Structure 1
């Protein structure tokens, strides 16, 4: 991942976490961060877990913005590629750690649970590849301007 900008990667981690938390946790109601550890009828631990998760996402986004703000703006493909790569890395790490290693939740509990978790990892891998390719293609243009 040497072709991915660090600031854009950090932004992508935070944005990927927000998209996961907002879309899958809130809008679709598929799971909560701690839904594999606590009964779903006890919503308080779910809310606290999700809140801490979103706070971490916010801190990542703020850190990424601070890194970007310390220097000149990136070309759009480099920024977008880094964000896509970070989002993909978030998806892969969250999918492996939370779904398989810790078992604290799955993308969708019940029938087809494993298939949903694997599809989540595939999406993460596609995001990483797309982001790295996007960043790599724009690197010669960045070097020529420097």
Structure 2
């Protein structure tokens, strides 16, 4: 579950960085300085996300090799990790630390609602899937 959570958070960070920072150009990871510092902060975020992604997949490969990987727990962990990253970004980075906003020059409330509700839904879906994985793990082995 934790390996997949790291992968899910890294994938969500990549989606955020690629879509909102690069393609749409709505913000940088750190917007409270010069554009050069904003670009540097995006590069550091991208490097951290890639390290997490590679580390998560090495962890995943080790679990598979040791036959410790559980598919349902993995999906739950990935969804929960993605949702946790998105909620952390939306609540802590955007509102508490004010590192950046989703978009500038617009009324933020609709963007904040969509961003945080989507993150909460991903996290909730992950928790539901993890609950099912846990329940399946408690069942007696099926005889064939």
TM-score in terms of structure 2 length: 0.84
Q: How does 1:30-69 map to 2 (within 5 A)?
A: 30-35=26-31, 37-38=32-33, 42-69=34-61
Would the aligned equivalents of 1:75 and 1:142 in 2 still touch at CA under 8 Å?
no
Q: Please tell me the root mean square deviation across aligned C-alpha atoms, in Å.
A: 1.8
Shift of 1:136: 1.9
Give the Cα separation in 1 of the matches to 2:73 and 2:118: 20
Shift of 1:73: 5.8
Deviations for 1:81-102, whole angstroms, at most 9, x for unmatched residues? 2111101000111111211011
Deviations for 1:27-84, whole angstroms, at most 9, x for unmatched residues? 222111112x02xxx4321211100001111111122122222222634332222111
Which position in structure 2 is the counterpart of 1:26?
22
Secondary structure of 2:58 counterpart: helix
TM-score in terms of structure 1 length: 0.83
Higher gyration radius (CA): 2
Which position in structure 2 is the counterpart of 1:123?
118
Secondary structure of 2:126 counterpart: helix
Shift of 1:121: 1.1
Give the Cα separation in 2 of the matches to 1:121 and 1:6: 22
Shift of 1:131: 1.1
